[in-house]
């Protein structure tokens, strides 16, 4: 099967039974390899996911990718209230790392109460810096 080429496709596949993490990773590989298509790849609102954490995570991913890679605009769908958690979610169960995640989480994740590492969408294909 080919990689999902939009965040909306990630959600459709997850709603169809695919695992969230690996499906998102496949999308990120596609996103990083196609700089001219990046804005279009996050433009359409993904369908609602049953897991509120994954649903909020897609909002954070869309916003973070737009900001991190200097795309023309953050997609408006990322500000939908359903894309925000009401309780903190740490991407690790290791208590000793939680303080570090609080400090390092990028804005798009932090404002949704998702606490993660400084570069949460890192992949082998990720370019070092955004294009000027």
Residue 109 located in a structural domain:
yes
Residue 127 located in a structural domain:
no
Task: Per-residue pLDDT tens, the chain, 132 aa: give them.
Answer: 699 999 999 999 999 999 999 999 999 999 999 999 999 999 999 999 999 999 999 999 999 999 999 998 999 999 999 999 999 999 999 999 999 999 999 999 999 999 999 999 988 777 776 554
Q: Helix, strand, coil % (nearest 5) of the chain? A: 55, 5, 45
Structure tokens at 45: 């609102």
* Spatial contact of 51 and 19, defined as CB atoms under 8 Å apart: no
Residue 96 located in a structural domain:
yes
d(CA 93, CA 13): 26
* Spatial contact of 124 and 97, defined as CB atoms under 8 Å apart: no
- What range defines the domain where residue 87 resides? 7-115
Record the pTM. 0.92
Residue 77 located in a structural domain:
yes
Number of structural domains the chain divides into = 1
Residue 121 located in a structural domain:
no
């Amino acid at each position: 099967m080919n990689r999902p080429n939009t965040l909306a496709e990630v959600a459709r596949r997850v709603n169809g039974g695919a695992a969230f993490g690996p499906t998102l990773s496949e999308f990120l590989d596609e996103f990083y390899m196609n700089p001219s298509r990046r804005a279009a790849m996050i433009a359409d609102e993904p369908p609602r996911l049953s897991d509120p954490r994954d649903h909020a995570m897609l909002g954070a991913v869309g916003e973070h990718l737009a900001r991190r890679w200097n795309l023309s605009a953050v997609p408006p769908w990322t500000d939908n209230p359903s894309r925000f958690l009401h309780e903190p979610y740490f991407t690790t169960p290791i208590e000793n790392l939680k303080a570090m995640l609080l400090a390092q989480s990028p804005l798009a994740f932090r404002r949704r109460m998702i606490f993660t590492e400084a570069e949460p969408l890192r992949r082998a294909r990720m370019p070092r810096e955004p294009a000027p």
